[in-house]
Structure 1
Amino acid sequence: MPVPSALLVLADGRLPAGGHAHSGGAEEAVADGRVSGPADLYAYCLGRAHTTGLVAASLAAAAADGLDPLALDHAADARTPSPALRAAARRLGRQLLRAARAAWPDPALDAVAARHPRGLHQPVVLGLTARAAGLGPADAAAASLYESVGGPASATVRLLSLDPLDATRVLARLAPVLDTLAAEAVAHAARAGTEGPDALPARAAPLLDLTAEHHARRPHKLFTT
């Protein structure tokens, strides 16, 4: 089955949605010495995909499946302990919604922008964008998971002067894992459709939350998060 072209556009890092300014916690991981090369990057991205990545993908899949965006936004808030990450998620949500309304004009997206001027969490907006683009929950989950590891991989190239080929190799190794997690996210979203957003996963990554707060106080940094 061919990959929908809209999915390629949505997952493209060149989509002007602000993701280039975020490292997904990689900047702090590099500063702390937890990521110093390709092997560390793989381990970091693997852990991120299985925790916050799955949570975000499940939220995106649920939004693409038509669940109430505000209820999903509350669920995202409850699963994001770090104030810095909550603020960043809403800022990214606003930026993505702006890009989405330009790329895929849709009254539903206009209504979201009017009702939620502070912005919704980025994974929720990602799911709404996928829906407006004619994509489904599986597409939204796949795009979200790729973003959860693609951002740190791209950032590490800059932070460590890592060979881009090594970063690409890491992403290629992660591909089967992302496919499995995307299917899991879709299943969680389907369950949330009958049981409500509380049925969505709430896997935590406490170190990411703690280091995000530390990063927010850094006077000099390359990335916002």
Structure 2
Amino acid sequence: MTLAALLLLADGRFPAGGHAHSGGAEAAVRAGRVHDGASMTAFLTGRLHTTGLVAAALAASAAAGQDTAVLDAAAEARTPSPALRATSRRLGRQLLRAARAAWPHHRLDRIAEAFPRGAHQPVVLGTAALAAGVTPAQAASAAAYESVNGPATACVRLLGLDPYEVAAALAGLAPQLDAVAATALEAALRGDPDALPAASAPLLDVYAEEHHSWKVRLFAS
């Protein structure tokens, strides 16, 4: 059951709203920093080791049963961009709705009561993992994978890249995905939210604020 739940949670078709977000890829494409397969892979690699690492550690901590309010505050402190904060909470709210339907659990109910406008997405992801019987290690892997899969899929739409090339790029990132998830899990199991990774990606913050101001855009973020 745990493996099946993990696959469902990590499936891009799970109704959590992620398909509508590019993870900064749309702004990076417009800026000319992502324009082909190689530049996309570089973008994904950077995102994995910054945003992905932070999200994986938060998700693993929540899946381990740590205090969600404390973890949400930790996520807030690690998200300097107001636009990204709003996006994370919106995605958290959508994920929570789907998770409560799939895996009813009192911890999910508590998040809904404590954060009516949405908790940060990685915290909800980890709590959903706990509700579904997914381990903290698996939750970390799911969060790390999600941090690159969404932007990679967006690049197919934004640049018309060959889907096979994009799939190969994601496959090539597999060892780094495993390493990031392991680092995140190790940090999470220490049980100290203040000591969780706080890797920064300033350009993603800048892109998020720029993207938020656009009147015409393909993705919500």
The two structures have a TM-score, normalised by structure 1, of 0.96
SS at match of 2:173: helix
1:118 maps to which residue?
A: 117
Match 2:202 to one of 187, 200, 206? 206
Residue aligning to 1:136 = 135
> Take 1:200 and 1:107, find their aligned partners in 2: how far apart are those partners?
25
Alignment partner for residue 218 of structure 1, among 211, 214, 219? 214
- 1:160 maps to 159
- Distance in 2 (CA, whole Å) between partners of 1:171 and 1:25 is 17
> Relative to structure 1, is the Cα distance of residues 224 and 6 closer, same or farther in structure 2, using a 3 angstrom cutoff?
same
1:119 Cα offset (Å): 1.1
Q: 2:92 maps to which residue? A: 93
How much identity, in percent, do the aligned residues show? 63
- What is the CA deviation profile of residues 79-122 of structure 1, one whole-angstrom value per residue up to 9, with x for unaligned ones? 00000000000000000000000111112211221222121100
Query: Cα RMSD between the aligned structures?
Result: 1.1
Q: Secondary structure of 1:34's match?
A: coil
Corresponding residue number in structure 2 for 1:108:
107
Assess if the C-alpha contact under 8 Å between 2:2 and 2:132 holds in 1: no
After superposing on structure 2, the runs of 4+ consecutive aligned residues of structure 1 that deviate more than 6 Å are none
**Residue equivalent to 2:49:** 50
Check the 8 A contact 2:25/2:154 in 1, yes or no.
Answer: yes
Change (3 A) 1:82 1:158: same
Length-normalised TM-score, structure 2: 0.98
Per the alignment, residue 82 of structure 1 pairs with 81
One-letter amino acid of the counterpart of residue 218, structure 1: W
Instruction: Give per-residue Cα distances to partners, 1:174-222, cap 9 Å, x unaligned.
Output: 111100110100001012x1xx211101010000001100000001000
Q: In the alignment, which residue of structure 1 is the partner of 2:171? A: 172
Distance (whole Å) between structure 2 residues aligned to residue 168 and residue 138 of structure 1: 23
Q: Secondary structure of the equivalent of 2:65?
A: coil
Counterparts of 1:43 and 1:202 in 2: how far apart (Å)? 20
Uncovered stretches (5+) of structure 2, i.e. residues with no partner: none
Structure 1 unaligned regions, length at least 5: none
* 3-state SS in 2 of match to 1:219: coil
Per the TM alignment, residue 3 of structure 1 is displaced from its structure 2 partner at its CA by: 7.5
Match of 2:5 in 1: 6
CA–CA distance in 1 between the matches of 2:159 and 2:123?
32
- Take 1:81 and 1:49, find their aligned partners in 2: how far apart are those partners? 18
